[in-house]
Structure 1
Amino acid sequence: MFVACYHSKTQIMHSKKQLLAQYVLHCRWFVNVLEGFTDEETNERINADMNHVKYLAGHLLNAQYAFAQIAGITVTRKWDELFAGQGKSKARDNFPYPSIDEIKATWDQLYPVVKSALEKMPEEALQKELPASPVAGHGILDSTVGDLWAFLNLHQAYHIGQIGILRRGFKKDPMKYF
């Protein structure tokens, strides 16, 4: 018997400590999951219907800009047209993407700034309503900063997991958690 996963909308309280711990862990996983890939490998698809590692890494970087917005800081988006979310971009073959090292270096520059701003954010800010929240209106998440942050954390884990699967397709060791 199939049990539906959907439920009626309930008020969910967020713990900034837990959301921040997940955010920090995803940074470590981002570094770990890309370990050992050459720039050439990150442009290769192991299946024509799958994204390549470089697109996924750039897309993960692009989500960091959403975290910056949550934290209330303004940053200039790099390569937004290449890696934008919500169906606004897609992986391209034989395209002059930035190198994987450039993507990682941009992540390394952005991450500490965003992390610091998220740490300084008051707990009450998680309950702030975002009228144009992209995750609201589906009956699961609401339009609060906390729900958007929770979704973005899951988004990061999902795409890191995709790269983890690609690691195995390239005959690399599994990603290290720590």
Structure 2
Amino acid sequence: MERKSNDIEIIKLQVVSNYKVISMNIEGISHEESMIFPNGDANCMNWILGHLIYIRNAFLNILGEESVWDAEKFSCYNRGEIPLNRKDEFIDFEDLKSYLNKTQEKLEKKIDALEKINPENIDDIATLCLHEIYHSGQFGYLRRILGKPGVIK
């Protein structure tokens, strides 16, 4: 099997690894638990997952793929929004998990089909991967705040 160029391999590893970490940390979290804002204002799991999906759609768009949802309809999850003020717009956590799975399928399929990364997209892609790593780590702390055992050993 011919290996892809290093940049594509690195991006694929980031996307797959982030998905595993996110999936493990959101496993067994109910919708009600996902809506808890620690300290009354720290971002809840529901918003963080929705936000990651929102930004994954931008990642898909950069790679030339369609989003999995309408950005306007789900704008409550956009960067710069104040989640507490828009919590009534949040969707069910299981539905968010389904959207996450759709983004993963589309990202992996698109990355597997890539011949090369457009050099003008490298900075954006690297930033999007970093963004996802940053937020995926927050799920680990939120799990523990909700009284669940940690899953990354």
TM-score bracket for the superposition, by shorter chain length: 0.7 to 0.9
Question: Do structure 1's residue 99 and structure 2's residue 92 form an aligned pair?
Answer: yes
Residues 1-178 of structure 1 aligned to structure 2 (within 5 Å): 15-75=7-67, 77-78=69-70, 79-85=73-79, 87=80, 89-92=81-84, 95-123=88-116, 125-127=117-119, 129=120, 145-176=121-152
Residue 110 of structure 1, CA deviation? 2.6
Aligned match of 1:140 = none
Aligned match of 1:6 = none
Structure 1 unmatched runs, 5+? 1-13, 130-144
Given that residues 47 and 77 in structure 2 are in contact (C-alpha distance below 8 angstroms), is that contact kept between their aligned partners in structure 1?
yes
Q: Matches of 2:58 and 2:23 in 1, distance apart?
A: 19
Given that residues 67 and 149 in structure 1 are in contact (C-alpha distance below 8 angstroms), is that contact kept between their aligned partners in structure 2?
yes
Q: Matches of 2:14 and 2:35 in 1, distance apart?
A: 28
Given that residues 68 and 103 in structure 2 are in contact (C-alpha distance below 8 angstroms), is that contact kept between their aligned partners in structure 1?
no
Amino acid at match of 2:74: D
Task: Give a deviation string over 1:51-103, Cα, whole Å, max 9, x none.
Answer: 11100010011111012112211235344311112x1x221265142110000
Which structure has more helix as a fraction of its residues?
Answer: 2
Residue 160 of structure 1, CA deviation? 1.0
Structure 2 unmatched runs, 5+? 1-5
Task: Give a deviation string over 1:20-42, Cα, whole Å, max 9, x none.
Answer: 10111111112111012111011
Instruction: Tell which structure's C-alpha radius of gyration is larger.
Output: 1
Q: Give every structure 1 segment of 4 or more consecutive aligned residues whose post-TM-superposition deviation is greater than 4 Å.
A: none
Amino acid at match of 1:35: E
- What's the RMSD between the two structures over aligned residues? 1.8
Q: Matches of 1:32 and 1:70 in 2, distance apart?
A: 27
TM-score, reference length from structure 1: 0.74
Residue 114 of structure 1, CA deviation? 2.2
Aligned residues: 145
TM-score, reference length from structure 2: 0.85
